[in-house]
Amino acid sequence: MKASKTARPRPRPQTKPTHEPTLVLPSIAWVGRSGWGGLPPLTDGAGANIWLLRGTEFDVLIDCGSESGNPLRLNRRLRAVGSARHRIGEIWLTHSHTDHSGGALRWQERYPRLRCRLAEIGCDFLQRGDLRLTGVAMDPHSRFIPPRRPIPVREGEVLLCPPWKLTVVALPGHAPDCVGYRGEVDGWDVMFTGDAIIGDQGKVRGNVGWLDGLWLSDAPLYERMLAAATRHPPEVMLPGHGVPHAGATVRRSLRNCLWRLKQVNAIPSAPSMFPFYRNT
């Protein structure tokens, strides 16, 4: 008789931060972050989370932080999880904010063939020299230079990091160019969400990206996006700041993010008080 085949158990996601890069899954590593939320920092400055997606042909960075995410400073952390800076073939940006995209130009200068991808609307703004979506005006001393010729991505587009295939998901609200990247990795339905969905962090429930008219936030649209995400949650969620989520914490975080936007939108006369309401 043939031995019965049993399903191979899925690796358990590791979501606890340490002082070293973390393999959240065998093919996903947490290689960069600032001290946001009191977490032990992996990179200097005010950078966002930097995620590494490990492929067979090349590796991908999902967001590359601020200046501190440049290839020279990040290389030791990449090597610690089995990658290296020369293996980075693409950078997938979740949106234009400088703490997510500020390191991209340094990568492009060192590796001219590296491809940098950004939501189509973000590319349109950069092409006409409009830096509102980068948030650079928040710091008058900033010397931010945007990435060169980013490749526009659109909702539903499938991006490849062989053997992985991830789909671009529009996540507008925090900023109009917010996107996520969702697909099966190591047997799990994962989504990189940037600042659009940060979720429960420590004692704070339902963290979401800052709302600001400067980068064209849209609170009603944000609520609708979160309602849709809550109906179809991923199994693993990797945000732009704070710790990742897996299983029940994903669903709870999404519900709490939606609750928080409902609170904002329930403020009487909010459209006449705040700059982040639009005719959507």
Displacement of CA 147 from its chain's centroid (Å) = 17
Sign (positive/negative) of CA torsion 53, 170, 135, 207?
negative
**So what CATH class is 22-273?**
alpha beta
The per-residue pLDDT for 213 is 87
Domain limits, the chain: 22-273
- Residue written as tokens 């703004």? 125
SS3 181: strand
96-134 pLDDT per residue, tens: 999 999 999 999 999 999 999 999 999 999 999 999 999
Q: Centre a 10 Å sphere on the Cβ of residue 275 and count the other Cβ atoms it contains.
A: 12
Please give the Cα distance from 74 to 32 (Å, whole number). 8
170-227 pLDDT per residue, tens: 999 999 999 999 999 999 999 999 999 999 999 999 999 999 988 999 999 999 999 9
